[in-house]
């Protein structure tokens, strides 16, 4: 089992210019990184509390996954992400346990992480992300 701890909570927002100051006020810490992940059509902003981060996600395109999520469900918690020390092994394990994968192979996420999503249809509606610090 290579899952170690909650890494971050992903929150879909319409406008980072509104969401960042709100979360800074709420948590009393400053956003320390803003990063665009072009392949996911998303701009991300991060705040950190201890080991756990808040990832604010704003879509950069009307047809991106975050835009579609907000259209269906409105703004709010979009996914939870767990830190893994071996994401590939974890994907094989989840697959063997009958959990449907969105990504069978890790891809590049923000913050220098390799990431992969599990399908919410097989996780009782919770979009779950596994992430691993890229060292290779």
How far apart, in whole angstroms, are the C-alpha atoms of residue 10 and residue 46?
Answer: 10
Work out whether 56 is an interface residue with Zn ion (CB under 5 A).
no
Minimum CB separation of residue 55 from Zn ion in Å reads 5
Per-residue binding letters, 29-48, with Zn ion (x by CB under 5 A): --------------------
Contact at 8 Å (CB) between 35 and 44?
A: yes
Which lies closer to Zn ion via its Cβ, residue 96 or residue 115? Answer: 115
Work out whether 10 is an interface residue with Zn ion (CB under 5 A).
yes
How far apart, in whole angstroms, are the C-alpha atoms of residue 92 and residue 98?
Answer: 10
Interface with Zn ion (CB under 5 A), residue total: 4
Which lies closer to Zn ion via its Cβ, residue 7 or residue 98? Answer: 7
Q: How far is CA 32 from CA 24, 49, 56, 89, in A?
A: 10, 11, 12, 31
Interface stretch with Zn ion, choices 60-68, 90-98, 99-107, 122-130 (CB under 5 A): 122-130
Element housing 93 (H / E):
helix 87-96
Work out whether 127 is an interface residue with Zn ion (CB under 5 A).
no
Among 81, 83, 94, 116, binds Zn ion (CB under 5 A): 81
How far apart, in whole angstroms, are the C-alpha atoms of residue 69 and residue 41?
Answer: 13
How far apart, in whole angstroms, are the C-alpha atoms of residue 45 and residue 32?
Answer: 8
Minimum CB separation of residue 10 from Zn ion in Å reads 4
Map tokens 């691993």 to a residue.
132
Work out whether 19 is an interface residue with Zn ion (CB under 5 A).
no
By CB under 5 A, name the binding residues for Zn ion.
10, 55, 81, 129
């Amino acid at each position: 089992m290579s899952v170690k701890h909650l890494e971050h909570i992903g929150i879909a927002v319409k406008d980072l210019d509104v969401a960042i100051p709100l979360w800074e006020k709420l948590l009393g810490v400053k956003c320390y990184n803003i990063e665009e992940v072009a392949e996911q059509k998303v701009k991300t902003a991060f705040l950190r509390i201890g080991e756990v981060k808040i990832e604010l996600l704003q879509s950069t395109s009307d047809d991106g996954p975050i835009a579609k999520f907000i259209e269906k469900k409105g703004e709010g918690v979009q996914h939870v992400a767990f830190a893994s020390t071996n994401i590939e092994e974890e994907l094989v394990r989840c697959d063997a346990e009958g959990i449907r994968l969105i990504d069978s192979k890790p891809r590049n996420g923000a913050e220098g992480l390799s990431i992969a999503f599990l399908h919410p249809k097989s996780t009782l509606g919770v979009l779950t992300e596994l992430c691993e610090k890229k060292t290779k």
